[in-house]
Amino acid sequence: MRVAAGDLVFDVEVSGPDDGDPVLLLHGFPQNRHAWDRVVPALNAAGLRTIAPDQRGYSDGARPLGADSYALPLLAGDALGILDALGIESAHVVGHDWGSAVAWHLAARHPERVRTLTAVSFPHLEAYWYALRHDPEQRRLSQYLAYFVSPESTAGLLADGAAQLRSLFGDAVDPVQVRHYLDLHTRPGVLDATLNWYRSGSLLAEHEGLGPVTVPTTYIWSDGDLAASRTAVDRTALHVTGPYRFVLLPSITHWQPEQAPERVTAEILRRVNQRQEV
């Protein structure tokens, strides 16, 4: 379905019982709402109503020009606008990769709209920023950012049949799903728009003063994930004052929703059904 939020129109997959507790699923780069395809059926079967949007830049009706249009507060505002349009006062929020950055922002700045938070892959932004300053491993892992923000990255990622873009997934994601993501990002203007999430500078600009997360939170990270160092991962707990659970997925890469959907789903359900940690 299409959902209008402000001046933008988002493609949103809504499924599950109408009276189920709402779960907002926020994807990362370079995916779209289909990153959750192996998670949604089990959440719906558990009685939850899922809302999975193609976020700003990924939806045809929500692709403004310019990196400034992709600052993190605007991305979080999109999520709130989608909830408002659907008449949802608050939701369980789940994010992966960039979707996690949006989810952390929502939970810190708009806790009244977030029942619980399940963040997958990416740590709290203040923990990430600390690691960038103090941890050589995080600086090494984050070297890709310089390429993504460069003007030549669009052409480079799309060259030779999008070979670089395809290589990001390795063997961790089903080829059919990878083909779906590539079909999206090889359309004119799409990759430039989705790379604007990086080019906006939000990963670095929005950490200061983000503040603690007070809502019940689960943070899922895997030891094969190259987005965050263990320093950033471990320091995330310092920025959550609500009930907190850390989950380590061994031998899993960065693509947790596609590669380990059963475990991700189980942890979402655990957080949704148990707001207070045992």
Q: Among residues 96, 124, 185, 254, which one is catalytic? A: 254
254 is catalytic: yes
- In this structure, are residues 119 and 109 in contact, taking their beta carbons and an 8 Å threshold? no
Buried b (16+ CB within 10 A) or exposed e, 122-156: bbbbbbbbbbbeebeebeebbeeeeebbeeebbee
Q: Among residues 11, 78, 97, 225, which one is catalytic? A: 97
68 is catalytic: no
Q: Among residues 198, 219, 225, 239, which one is catalytic? A: 198
11 is catalytic: no
Which whole-number Å values give the CA distances from 45 to 41, 251, 266, 267, in the listed order?
Answer: 6, 28, 12, 15
- In this structure, are residues 30 and 185 in contact, taking their beta carbons and an 8 Å threshold? yes
Indicate the SS3 state at residue 118: strand
Give 193's DSSP letter.
H
Helices (H), 135-189: 136-141, 144-149, 153-167, 175-185
At position 159, the amino acid (one-letter code) is: A
What residues are annotated to the active site? 97, 198, 254
